Chains A and B, each alone.
Chain A
């Protein structure tokens, strides 16, 4: 198994490469811009390259186990903490997502005109390293540790490079997210203590708890901690207030990585840790999740419609779409959680793309106010094309991954009679999102320019998308199309894994007797001849 060990080391490299590159950049304020870029391309690109390579080497027969396992001592063995890395069918797509969004954000950031660029890139790289680590961790402690490691640079970046009102937003976001993280940490520690297995390894926790489940009360309480802790991190209604403003003022790179990837940490925690380990807790809180998620979809959806600022709108829309993922997890079935996973990946790509493109729009219009733009498509057709594609992806047009996510979640909801009614209110979201999405597109790009914008539009200063903007956009669009056209690249591995995590006693498919298939239907006629 020498091969296995080498590949496992790659996992470690994917985490450490961005962090070390970041450290080097941190020291090197005297680097020339070009050498800085070359260095950061390495740091941002390597994780994705490794991710793709590992995807190619992924062994699907190990469902229930982890691929590329690596276990290093940390000095905390006495309480069962190891640096235990590995990937399974659920974390693999998210690992790739982090690499992809990371590269796109990095490519965009290194060409931005941020002051103290080396510091900015270094912080982004730290964030990326943390993200890779989060999704590659089997050890629950490191899962949490890497998340915090990625979270702190976000606060710093908003505080230093944020837009107007950044201090208030950064403080609010910090307090809110720290609260969420603390609650979930409490939950994780409670899980560790209550299970009494003396190990933070998810595998051992899972094996132990599947043999002897915790009592119902304990499960309910721990699940509540995890649900609301993670829920705050994922902007579950009504704990979403940090998100729109936070994203609106965040510098683009940070917003891309946070909204695109880091936010998925909470969902990942719910579907990989909380729900499988605490099934009766999930059942107990089922109706809470459903109602709050519907709040996300419908109430926040309508709130999104009322936004006049492009970035606020995007922030709210990303809050809204999280509702679908929660609904998927609430189903507690392979289909539902699978849908949530697809949704997470596709949403991560599309929201990152939208945040990036909205900044591109801003560089041309000098405003985020939707009511004072218009007609940009004539001057920047490529930008318009990308923006329309990204909007279409986020409102769930088939051909992009988001559609499969939403669709699979709807299918999952209709599976049992208990959840069947939810499909209809949840599906209203597809109309709501079409309304605000197309309204924004139409206000920015189509029709006549508004008076205040006309002069700028005619001035000839407005250029179309530059190559450095195109490249990251192409990466993200490519990912969206790939998941939209070939959803099996995610679903096959995840399906095997989820079947282990969410075992189902019997199928809900109807058994239809007296079947006449077309081929058979013809047969009796021939007999009569």
Chain B
């Protein structure tokens, strides 16, 4: 089997699974789950086969998709080092989350639809990973958005889920608007949207890079990776089932924005890169603050995801796409782990999501709690765990090239440790604070195995030395480059100190401030205005809602009024009215009375005479 064939299997297995489920297994839930999990397994196996068969070679394969005049779109694979790394992560994490879903969704009455949605998602995500041109990326980009829409809205009866899914899709569309325009301009600028061809052109002539195109393409990233100002959809998206949050809204889809940037990094001029770096760093801090105002375990993790995406963006903006990819991969491991553990907790606590109603889970659900702790530590960047290496690299990159961003990111790391500590201490220590929490039981094996595997990866995922040669080439290059920069050693020490201080201080302070197994938020008690401010998340949602309801909708209603009353009422009905009026007037002359006609006749005669005799 050639690598291309393996890749075709990789991408079409989940599509096939989705189609089969949609047509035949809507009521046969068990079968649907089996098919979907098999497809996810097949992705992993065949992905691995393709990678092993190619080694460090790059696979290009493409064929025409659409052709009009000068406009040509191809569908094809660009299976290079970055794509391989991403593929193996997506396939592996995806597979684990499929397995986890078997347990988590066991009681759901619409499991068939759920697994079909997961398969559609895997299909579209792999499309992004493998695509070799911008148009194809966009196609799968939108499909990913659609599957996210479907899965967020999985709980059909919930108004919250309905609103969240709609919001996610529309906010993403706003980002895609810029993306789309960017692709279109890029096509006529380069004459192609093929990634490697564009890369070749830019390498040959760096002047080809244009700020406008890069900025427009960046909009796609901002939407999908939920960066400022389009970040509002991600916390709401937690209305979906927890494994979906883990897979789509933490590990893979939102990271696709960063992946996309890495794929087209040659298109970015310095100005746009700096913008992205600042954007990322500020989101990293902003989301950290927001997390303190949340009590829902999933929402805290969602803001943590936002913040980590900010780190990736910052790394990319600083000129280290490989480091961004590194953090993307390690983040996928520990964030998937955190979300799945949270899912296990939620499952154990009968769908209780408020951390102040949990407590004491360390004893009730030891494995879940320990894996969660490992995830927390990895996220905080504890020495030796995966998160440490990637975050460390980002901080060093910041310290060496942009000091303000370095301090922002360090502040972000401190915030991260703080809110993660708050979450862990309150939810897992102390005594159960609700009926549901006191009856919590450890989850079944289908849920625990993925947790354990992910915990191992969260620990070991960052040990680059053990990565096989054909994976993470870009990461190694970038790290290598970083290591050989001036002042690397001094900065390394500094980051080690700052980074370790951040997580130690964050965890310890949060422990003493909130207290183990606290019943209520002490910040809320002691400093209600600050808590209220954090909870308000800078009023983005309020402003957007105001805009949508009060401005946009009213404007639409006004236009509707104009359409109905001016165009339809005055112009269309008006012209009909004028014709009717003329008809009515001339009709009133014909009253049927003979004498009237005679008078008109006379009047006409007089008029004629007057004209003939020259009086008129």
Are B135 and A518 in contact (CB-based, < 8 A)? no
Residues of chain B within 8 A (CB-CB) of A491 are: 66-68
Q: Hey, which chain A residues are within 8 Å of B170, CB to CB? A: 431, 434-435, 438
Given A385-B22, A414-B187, A487-B65, A241 contacting B568 (CB threshold 8 A): yes
Contact A335 to B68, CB < 8 A, known contacts A397-B143, A424-B181, A447-B157? yes
- Let me know if B196 is at the binding interface, CB within 8 A: yes
Q: Which of B70, B161, B208, B552 contacts A512 (CB 8 A)?
A: B208
Q: Which residue of B lies closest to A486 (CB)?
A: B65
Name A435's closest neighbour in chain B (CB-CB).
Answer: B170
Query: A423 touching B181 by the CB < 8 A rule?
Result: yes
Q: Distance in Å from the Cβ of A421 to the closest Cβ of chain B?
A: 11
Q: Which of A378, A508, A512 has the most CB of B within 10 A?
A: A512
> Which of these binds chain A: B197-205, B494-502, B503-511?
B197-205
CA distance A398 to B144 in the complex (A): 10
CB-CB < 8 A to A408: which residues of B? Answer: 66, 68, 71
Residues of B within 8 A of A518 (CB): 58, 196, 199-200
Q: Are A515 and B201 in contact (CB under 8 A)?
A: yes
Q: Which residues of B contact A381 (CB under 8 A)?
A: 26, 113
CB pair B163–A442 under 8 Å, yes or no, is yes
Check A377/B181 contact, CB under 8 A, given A306-B560, A509-B191.
no
Given A414-B188, A518-B58, A518-B196, check contact A334 B568 (CB 8 Å). Answer: no
User: Is the beta-carbon distance between B568 and A335 smaller than 8 angstroms?
Assistant: no
Q: Does A339 touch B at the CB level, under 8 Å?
A: yes
Q: A521 vs B568: C-alpha distance in the bound complex, in angstroms?
A: 63
Interface contact B67-A398, CB-CB below 8 Å? no
Chain A CB within 8 A of B173 CB: yes
Separation of A377 and B70 alpha carbons in the complex (Å): 44
Interface residue? A368 (CB, 8 A) = no
Q: In chain A between 414 and 447, which residues have their CB closer than 8 angstroms to a CB of chain B? A: 414-415, 420, 423-424, 427-428, 430-431, 434-435, 438-439, 442, 445-447
Question: Known contacts A397-B143, A491-B67; is A423 also within 8 Å of B191 by CB?
Answer: no
Contact (Cβ within 8 A) A303 B563: yes
Indicate if A172 sits at the interface (CB-CB under 8 A).
Answer: yes
Q: Which of A361-379 contact B (CB under 8 A)?
A: 375, 377-378
A407 touches B69 (CB 8 A): no
Query: How far, in Å, is A402 (CB) from chain B's closest CB?
Result: 12
- Closest residue of B by beta carbon distance from A426: B181
Identify the closest chain B residue to A338 (Cβ).
B68
Segment 228-266 of B: residues with Cβ below 8 Å from A: none
A516 partner residues in chain B, CB cutoff 8 A? 200-201, 203-204
B199, chain A: closest CB distance, angstroms: 7
In the complex, the answer to whether B67 meets A509 with C-beta atoms within 8 Å is no
The answer to whether A403 and B153 touch (CB under 8 A), given A176-B572, A423-B181, A491-B67, is: no
Q: What residues on A are CB-neighbors of B173 within 8 Å? A: 430-431, 434
B181 contacts A333, C-beta separation under 8 Å:
no
Any B CB within 8 A of the CB of A57: no
Residue interface bits B149-172, CB-to-A below 8 A is 1, else 0: 110010011110111011001100
Cα–Cα, bound, A509→B186 (Å): 11
- The residue in B26, B71, B173 that gathers the most chain A C-beta atoms within 10 A of its C-beta is B71
- Contact A427 B181, beta carbon cutoff 8 Å: yes
Task: Determine if A510 and B188 form an interchain contact, defined as CB atoms under 8 angstroms apart.
Answer: yes
Q: Mark B1-27, 1 if CB is under 8 A from A, else 0.
A: 000000000000000000000100010
Q: Which residues of A contact B205 (CB under 8 A)?
A: 512-514
Tell me the minimal C-beta distance from B564 to chain A in angstroms.
Answer: 9
Closest to B187 in A: A411
Residues of B within 8 Å of A175, CB to CB, are 576
Q: How far is the CA of A414 from the CA of B556 in the complex (A)?
A: 28
Contact A509 B188 (CB under 8 A): yes
0/1 interface trace, chain A 114-130, chain B, CB 8 Å (1 if under): 00000000000000000
Query: Does residue B567 face the partner (Cβ distance < 8 Å to A)?
Result: yes
Q: Of all chain B residues, which has the CB nearest A429?
A: B177
> Cβ of B69 and Cβ of A488 under 8 Å apart?
no
User: For the complex, what is the distance from the CA of A515 to the CA of B177, rounded to whole Å?
Assistant: 30
In the complex, what residues of A have CB within 8 A of residue B557's CB? Answer: 306
Once the chains are docked, how many angstroms separate the CA of A302 from the CA of B561?
11
Contact B169 A434 (CB under 8 A): yes
Q: In the assembled complex, how far is the CB of residue A204 from the closest CB belonging to chain B, in whole angstroms?
A: 26
A497 vs chain B, min Cβ distance (A): 11
What is the bound-complex CA distance between A510 and B191, given in angstroms? Answer: 6
Residue of B68, B184, B200, B553 near A423 (CB, 8 A) is B184
Residues in B with CB closer than 8 Å to A217 are: none
Indicate whether A339 sits within 8 Å of B184 (C-beta atoms), given known contacts A431-B177, A516-B203: no
Most buried by A among B69, B184, B189, B203: B69
Given contacts A334-B69, A398-B139, A446-B156, is CB(A520)–CB(B169) below 8 Å? no
- A427-B181, A518-B58 known; A512-B68 Cβ under 8 A: no
A200: Cβ under 8 A from any B Cβ = no
- A498 in the interface (beta carbon within 8 A): yes
Question: Which of B69, B161, B166 makes the CB contact (< 8 A) with A438?
Answer: B166
Give Cα A424–Cα B174 distance, bound, in whole angstroms: 12
CA of A504 to CA of B65, assembled, Å? 22
A305 beta carbon closer than 8 Å to chain B: yes
Q: Could you tell me the distance in whole angstroms from the C-beta of A405 to the nearest C-beta in chain B?
A: 11
Instruction: State in angstroms the CA–CA spacing of A423 and B571 once bound together.
Output: 30
The interface residues of chain B lying within 8 Å CB-to-CB of A339 are: 68
B539 surroundings in chain A (CB, below 8 A): none
Complex contacts, A249 vs chain B, CB 8 Å: none
Taken together as a complex, chains A and B put the C-alpha atoms of A50 and B518 apart, in Å, by 75
B142 touches A398 (CB 8 A): yes
Query: Is B140 positioned at the interface, with any CB of A under 8 Å from its CB?
Result: yes
Decide if B589 is an interface residue (CB 8 Å cutoff). Answer: no
B253 to chain A, nearest CB (A): 16
A256 within 8 A of partner (CB)? no
Residues from chain A with Cβ under 8 Å of B392 in the complex = none
Q: Which residues from chain B contact A403 at a C-beta distance below 8 Å?
A: 139, 142
Q: Which of A397, A446, A520: most chain B CB closer than 10 A?
A: A446
**In the bound complex, what is the Cα–Cα distance between A430 and B175 (angstroms)?**
11
Contact (Cβ within 8 A) A487 B66: yes
Instruction: Find A414's partner among B140, B184, B208 (CB 8 Å cutoff).
Output: B184
Question: B185 near A: Cβ within 8 Å?
Answer: yes
A303-B563, A335-B68, A518-B58 known; A428 vs B177 contact (CB < 8 Å): yes
A8: CB under 8 A from chain B?
Answer: no
Contact indicator per residue, chain A 453-497, by CB within 8 Å of chain B (1) or not (0): 000000000000000000000000000000000011001101100
Q: How far is the CA of A334 from the CA of B552 in the complex (A)?
A: 36
Q: Is the CB of B556 within 8 A of A305?
A: yes
A407→B162 contact, CB < 8 A: no
B70 contact set on A, CB distance < 8 A: 334-335, 415, 504, 507-509
Alpha-carbon distance between A515 and B156 when the two chains are bound, in angstroms: 53
Q: Give chain A residues whose Cβ lies under 8 Å from the Cβ of B143.
A: 397-399
Contact A411 B156 (CB under 8 A): no
Q: Smallest CB–CB gap between A442 and chain B, Å?
A: 5
A404 at the interface (CB under 8 A from B): yes
User: Residues of B contacting A413 with CB < 8 Å?
Assistant: 184
Q: How far is the CB of A471 from chain B (nearest CB, A)?
A: 14
Q: In the complex where A305-B553, A306-B556, A488-B65 touch, is A410 in contact with B142 (Cβ < 8 A)?
A: no
Contact A515 B68 (CB under 8 A): no
Contact with B along A211-248 (1 / 0, CB 8 A): 00000000000000000000000000010110000000
CA distance A238 to B69 in the complex (A): 32
5 contacts between A and B (CB under 8 A): A398-B139, A399-B143, A414-B181, A510-B191, A514-B205
- Extra pairs beyond A398-B142, A495-B68 (13, CB < 8 Å): A238-B567, A335-B68, A407-B135, A408-B71, A410-B184, A411-B71, A414-B185, A430-B173, A434-B170, A446-B161, A447-B162, A504-B70, A516-B204
**CB within 8 Å of B: which residues of A?**
172, 175-176, 238, 240-241, 299-300, 302-303, 305-307, 333-335, 338-339, 375, 377-378, 381-382, 385, 388, 392, 397-399, 403-404, 407-408, 410-415, 420, 423-424, 427-428, 430-431, 434-435, 438-439, 442, 445-448, 487-488, 491-492, 494-495, 498-499, 504, 507-518, 520-521
